[in-house]
């Protein structure tokens, strides 16, 4: 399989249960919920996306001919000195599960990486508020962590106040702010 990747870079995780952890981000190009083009946003299933996932022109971006080639690129991004800590990669997008597959996960594991996927899994992060996706619809799902992330944009301050109020009233939910944006890191 050929993998189409927007970018591969080293940073700190800015959201969720792993906030602050050093991570390699592998951002796959493409999404099934929005084209990534502003002229299509109003008609998209996901109208609030704040990520550029189009093309392959980011750092480390490109087309990788197989799982080992992409896993090698990801591994080369991790600090090479005896840095301690388990190597950690976050597969994101767009929608990573359009491309992420067992051969790539196995190749990353062979290189010692713990693999996270920003789509669904042990933790649920719900952008809030969304009238068509209220938290009550998701509260009974089998997740270890439940996060509300205030929707970014011109009303971000109001959305943050609403998310805080919701979390206080519904303790199962935890507030997840985009700390990477506050810190000015990718």
Name the active-site residue from 25, 113, 146, 147: 25
Is 118 designated active site?
A: yes
Name the active-site residue from 7, 26, 28, 49: 49
Name the active-site residue from 2, 40, 45, 46: 46
Q: What is the DSSP string of 49-112?
A: -----SSS-STT-EEESSHHHHHHHHHHHS--SS--S--EEEEESS-GGGT--HHHHHHHHHTT
Is 26 designated active site?
A: no
Least Cα distance to 53 among 6, 16, 12 occurs for: 6
Give the SS3 label for residue 165.
helix
- Whats the size of the chain, residue-wise? 186
Name the active-site residue from 19, 51, 56, 179: 51
Q: Report how far residue 176's alpha carbon sits from residue 127's, in angstroms, rounded to the nearest whole number.
A: 9
Is 49 designated active site?
A: yes
Give the SS3 label for residue 157.
helix
Name the active-site residue from 31, 92, 123, 159: 31
Name the active-site residue from 40, 45, 47, 50: 50
Name the active-site residue from 66, 72, 152, 180: 180
Preceding omega of 129 cis (within 30 degrees of 0)? yes
Name the active-site residue from 118, 147, 159, 160: 118
Is 155 designated active site?
A: no
Is 50 designated active site?
A: yes
Is 31 designated active site?
A: yes
> Active-site positions?
25, 31, 46, 49-51, 118, 180
């Amino acid at each position: 399989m050929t993998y189409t990747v927007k970018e591969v870079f080293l940073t700190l995780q800015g959201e969720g249960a792993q906030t602050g952890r050093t991570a390699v981000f592998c951002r796959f190009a493409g999404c099934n919920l929005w084209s990534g083009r502003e002229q299509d946003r109003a008609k998209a299933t996901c109208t609030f996306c704040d990520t550029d996932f189009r093309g392959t022109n980011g750092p480390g971006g490109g087309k990788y001919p197989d799982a080992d080639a992409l896993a090698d690129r990801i591994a080369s991004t991790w600090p090479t000195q005896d840095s301690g800590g388990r190597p950690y990669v976050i597969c994101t997008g767009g929608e990573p599960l359009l491309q992420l597959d067992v051969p790539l996960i196995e190749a990353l594991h062979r290189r010692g990486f713990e693999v996270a996927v920003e789509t669904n899994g042990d933790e649920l992060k719900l952008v809030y508020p969304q009238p068509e996706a209220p938290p009550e619809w998701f509260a009974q799902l089998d997740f270890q962590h439940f996060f509300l992330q205030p929707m970014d944009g011109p009303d971000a301050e109001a959305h943050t106040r609403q998310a805080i109020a919701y979390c206080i009233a519904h303790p199962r939910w935890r507030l997840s702010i985009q700390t990477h944006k506050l810190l000015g890191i990718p």
